[in-house]
Homo-oligomer: A and B are copies of this chain.
Amino acid sequence: MDGVHLLGEWYGCPAHTPEFNRAEALREVCLNAVEASGLTTVGERFYQFEPHGVTGAVVLAESHLAIHTWPESGFVTVDVYVCNYTADNTAKAQKLYDMIEAVFKPARAHSQKILRGGKDG
């Protein structure tokens, strides 16, 4: 099963971004972005750290989205992994990634795209 995995590290995100430190706000952004990208949520879980930080995962029919925030450092990591089971979901994955990046507005981003699986998977 071939697929594409986008990994991001976002630095210098503005600390006042509400999604940085409120699990419910980040959850809403993620679920809306999944839907807007044409991907399908089948489950999700977000967790609020004290005193700060949010971590969460959205289980997709196509694989997963995971996100972790460190507001005290202006830092976010994100993973968008989609498998191309019935269609090529690469463009949808990129759209999802870009929509969340637009919320956090990093001053500097390190992104990787990894191809996973293959014909014999």
| Size band of the interface chain A makes with B | 35 or more
Q: Are B9 and A121 in contact (CB under 8 A)?
A: yes
Chain B residues lying within 8 Å of A112, measured Cβ to Cβ, are 114
Query: Contact partner of A11 among B45, B55, B60, B120, CB < 8 A?
Result: B120
Q: Is A84 an interface residue (CB 8 A)?
A: no
- A57-69 vs B, CB cutoff 8 Å, 1 = contact: the mask equals 1111101101010
Q: Are B117 and A9 in contact (CB under 8 A)?
A: yes
Chain B residues lying within 8 Å of A100, measured Cβ to Cβ, are none
Chain B residues lying within 8 Å of A59, measured Cβ to Cβ, are 45-47, 55-57, 66
Q: A45-B44, A70-B121 are in contact. Are A116 and B9 (CB under 8 A)?
A: yes
Q: Is A20 an interface residue (CB 8 A)?
A: no
